[in-house]
Amino acid sequence: MVSDKPFLLKRLFAVSFLLILLLIVTMLLGISIGSTGNELKTIFQLLSGGRALDPMREAIIWEIRFPRVILAALVGATLSLGGLVFQVLLRNPLAEPYILGISGGSAVGAIIGILMGLSRFPGVGFTAFAGSVATLLLIVLMSSGQSILKKDSLLLSGVMINAFCSAIIMFLVSMTQDARLHNIIFWLMGDLSMSDIRQVVILAATLLPCFLLLFLLSHSMNLLLMGKEMAQTMGVNIKYVTMILLVVTSFMVSATVSHCGLLGFVGLVIPHMLRLALGPDNRVLVPSCVLGGGAYMILCDLLARVLPEHGEIPVGVITAMIGAPLFIFLLKRSRQ
Amino acid sequence: MNMTVDINKISHYYGDSPVLKNLSFSVSKGDFFIIIGPNGSGKTTLMNAVSGILNPQEGRVEIFGRSIQSYNRKDLAKTIAFVPQMFPADFPFSVTEMVLMGRSPHLGMLGIEKEEDIKLAKQAMNFTEVKHLAHRKLNQLSGGERQRVFIARAICQEPQVILLDEPTASLDLAHQVKIMDLMDRLKREKGITIIMVSHDLNLAAMYGDRLLLLNRGEAVSLGLPQEVLTLHRLEATYGCRLLVDESPLGKFPRITLVPQKHVGAGRTEKKSTSNVQHRTLNIE
């Protein structure tokens, strides 16, 4: 009976292999489809070592679409993984990466940056990051000591910080009347259009070690789900692990928020969907969230670019438009 | 010295109010040790102190002659396993996954199971008779089945001591006996020391080698079931009317609750009641 249960590693490799394939396919689609036309052929020419005929088309691929697709993958991966970690930490399958107020803090930072007339990167990125780090410190201080392990007090602190931040955001928005208002609204909706390769490389170098660290803690996350008493008596240093999970996750979510604003629902829906499909073992879910979340975000971004006749929709609109109904469907199913 | 767990003058306070007051006792190897007492008497706090979850403000807890503080977490987990009362069921692990988690202290950071770990999990599931449930999800099981899965997980941890916090609470009679028989077999066949918190005085009387009666954080009595479970002591500790007589099954006490309506009507049955009390005194 039990022996036919696949070993963890086999299962991990099988799932990762499928999701890597999915990610590669979406990346190829994301790079090849766009407002200037379908470039699938050009991509294969480039990949097979030949040179593209048109340097203009090559430039579009390498300098515009490629960094954008990578950025989308990184952001999708981070938000999905962040959602997963918070769902474990708060022992609540409905938690999402912005739940502790990181989003509110960085939005306040970003809006202040925009109002100060700073450039999108690194200026606004920096103020947004500062805002979210400030929130993170506040949360850690508020729930310092033993109470960091009490999920309800953590959750309540987060909800209060978010509520306070949205009041500040409303205030700032109501005081702004010029073109900067458009910038603010776009930032709040989340968009991936401001991507250059340098920015993407810095982000990747920040995020990939975080992914690895969280994977190493994935088994401790499994044990944490058993309740803190049981986790502790199975050899987990719960205070230490909780702190690392909280700080690392908030840090990487802050990094993405400061690059592309608030992208709702990805972090809620993807881990939930993957858990329904693959079971609750976090050793499988951590890599799956990275790969699957990346693929989902690339697809959403593709829709955001391709759907409108002119210009593009902020990708946050797409992720929420697909994510919210999908989530209601999943919630209904899981209640049955 | 043959002491598995040695509790030496521990006290613990929540704020100013003491939950454990200068408590000392020891549990010898292979004992079935049951902690009883009214709600709020400090049973769970004591359990947390023995499992290392809580560090009491005063006194020492020693496991095999070594202070519990000197163990690293994984070594402690290889010595003591804990079966808690409550379990969050939002994340549906399968029975096999759950039992395999017991191997964690023996494995690396990612807890990657090897062939022998799966074999041990199978043996544990056989022992607690949950092997037929191996692929079911935890949240699809009944309370009794789930409790047996947790015990299999604890066995899989290969500890020398297993702590259980009210494992028979809210189970039906058949499951209660099954769980208690299981613990008794673990003690006799594997020599594992069992320390259990229980609300059921009759089960404690039937299975316990030694009992500890707690009240308001203090040890009221410690010893064999017939020494601890006496009428006056229990009535004073629990604050309700009881009957204590000898179980028809053998030399251990049987505790019966006396409902309010029988206290007044007791006069007509006074004769039998007083007989019972006399027999109780004989046991003492």
pLDDT, greater one: A280 or B265 = A280
Does the CB of B111 have a partner CB in chain A at under 8 Å? yes
Average pLDDT over residues A327-336: 73
Examine the domain organization and report whether B116 and B32 are in the same domain.
yes
Average pLDDT over residues A317-329: 83
Q: What is the pLDDT of residues B35-72, one digit of tens each?
A: 999 998 999 999 999 999 999 999 999 999 999 999 99
Provide the token pair at A20.
Answer: 């890597």
Partners of residue B87 in chain A, C-beta under 8 Å? 226-227, 230
Examine the domain organization and report whether B171 and B69 are in the same domain.
yes
Examine the domain organization and report whether B181 and B271 are in the same domain.
no
H or E segment to which residue B8 belongs: strand B3-14
pLDDT score at A254: 84
Examine the domain organization and report whether B211 and B83 are in the same domain.
yes
Partners of residue B73 in chain A, C-beta under 8 Å? 232, 235-237
pLDDT score at B206: 95
> Taking all residues of chain B, what is their mean pLDDT, rounded to a whole number?
88
Does the CB of B243 have a partner CB in chain A at under 8 Å? no
Give me the number of domains chain B comprises.
2
pLDDT at residue A55 greater than cutoff 80: no
For residue A214, the distance in angstroms to the closest alpha carbon of chain B comes to 11
Residue labelled with tokens 């964690």: B104
pLDDT score at B280: 46
pLDDT at residue B73 greater than cutoff 60: yes
Strands (E), B64-170: 66-67, 80-83, 161-165
Examine the domain organization and report whether B252 and B191 are in the same domain.
no
ipTM of the complex: 0.84
Residue ranges of the domains in chain A?
40-306+313-328
For residue A218, the distance in angstroms to the closest alpha carbon of chain B comes to 7
- Nearest chain A Cα to B83, which residue? A230
pLDDT score at A69: 93
pLDDT score at A133: 85
CB A121 within 8 A of CB A199: yes
CB atoms within 10 A of CB A97: 30
Q: Please give the share of chain B, as a percent, with pLDDT higher than 70.
A: 90
For residue B155, the distance in angstroms to the closest alpha carbon of chain A comes to 12
Could you tell me if residue B91 is left (phi over 0), alpha (psi between -120 and 50 degrees) or otherwise beta?
Answer: beta
pLDDT score at B237: 94
- Nearest chain A Cα to B125, which residue? A2
- For residue A230, give the nearest of B84, B93, B105 by CB distance: B84
CB contact under 8 A, B131 and A220: no
Examine the domain organization and report whether B242 and B162 are in the same domain.
no
**pLDDT tier at B17 (50, 70, 90 boundaries)?**
confident
For residue A279, the distance in angstroms to the closest alpha carbon of chain B comes to 7
- Can you give the residue range of the structural domain that contains B156? 3-229
Topology at the third CATH level for domain A40-306+313-328 = ABC transporter involved in vitamin B12 uptake, BtuC (1.10.3470)
Q: Which of A31-40, A249-258, B130-139 has the lowest mean pLDDT?
A: A31-40
pLDDT at residue B8 greater than cutoff 50: yes
Dist CA A296 CA A294 (whole Å): 6
Q: What is the pLDDT of residues A262-278, one digit of tens each?
A: 887 889 889 988 988 88
Average pLDDT over residues B168-194: 93
Examine the domain organization and report whether B172 and B158 are in the same domain.
yes
- For residue B88, give the nearest of A5, A216, A227 by CB distance: A227
Partners of residue B105 in chain A, C-beta under 8 Å? 234-235
Q: Which of the listed ranges A132-136, A144-148, B240-244 does the model predict with the highest average pLDDT?
A: B240-244
Examine the domain organization and report whether B30 and B169 are in the same domain.
yes
pLDDT score at A328: 81
Partners of residue A88 in chain B, C-beta under 8 Å? 91
Average pLDDT over residues B251-275: 68
SS3 B32: strand
For residue B84, the distance in angstroms to the closest alpha carbon of chain A comes to 7
Q: What is the pLDDT of residues A1-53, one digit of tens each?
A: 344 455 788 889 999 999 999 999 999 999 888 777 676 777 777 677 666 56
Side-by-side strand order, sheet with B58-63 = B17-28, B3-14, B58-63, B66-67
Examine the domain organization and report whether B213 and B234 are in the same domain.
no
SS3 B83: strand
The closest alpha carbon to A315, from A268, A264, A245, A280, belongs to: A264
| pTM given for the model | 0.86
CB contact under 8 A, A237 and B73: yes
Q: What is the pLDDT of residues A297-319, one digit of tens each?
A: 999 999 988 888 777 888 888 88
Q: Which of A26-35, A107-116, B179-188, B270-279 has the lowest mean pLDDT?
A: B270-279
Dist CA B228 CA B203 (whole Å): 14
Q: What is the pLDDT of residues B141-175, one digit of tens each?
A: 888 899 999 999 999 999 999 999 999 988 899 99
Partners of residue B131 in chain A, C-beta under 8 Å? 1-2
pLDDT score at B228: 95
A284-299 as b/e, with b when 16 or more CB fall inside 10 Å? bbbbbbbbbbbbbbbb
Partners of residue A2 in chain B, C-beta under 8 Å? 96, 118, 121-122, 125, 131, 134
Residues whose CB is less than 8 angstroms from the CB of residue B80 and which lie 6 or more positions away in sequence, other chains included:
A233, B50, B51, B52, B63, B159, B160, B161, B162, B163
Examine the domain organization and report whether B51 and B61 are in the same domain.
yes
Partners of residue A230 in chain B, C-beta under 8 Å? 82, 84, 87
- For residue B110, give the nearest of A218, A234, A235 by CB distance: A218
Partners of residue A227 in chain B, C-beta under 8 Å? 84, 86-88
CB contact under 8 A, A235 and B105: yes
CB contact under 8 A, A2 and B121: yes
Q: What angle do CA A27, A29, A35 make, to 5 degrees?
A: 120
pLDDT, greater one: A292 or B274 = A292
Partners of residue A145 in chain B, C-beta under 8 Å? none
Examine the domain organization and report whether B159 and B209 are in the same domain.
yes
Does the CB of B62 have a partner CB in chain A at under 8 Å? no
For residue B225, the distance in angstroms to the closest alpha carbon of chain A comes to 29
Q: Of B191, B212, B229, which closes a domain?
A: B229
H or E segment to which residue B156 belongs: helix B143-156
**pLDDT tier at A289 (50, 70, 90 boundaries)?**
very high
List B266's β-bridge partners, or say none.
none
Instruction: Identify from B45, B110, B140, B195 which residue to disrupt to test chain A contact, counting A C-beta atoms within 10 A and taking the largest count.
Output: B110
CB contact under 8 A, B51 and A2: no
Examine the domain organization and report whether B119 and B171 are in the same domain.
yes
With an 8 Å Cβ cutoff, the interface of chain A facing chain B consists of 1-3, 5, 7-9, 88, 91-93, 216-220, 222-223, 225-227, 229-230, 232-237, 275, 279-281, 283
Q: Which amino acid is at B215?
A: N
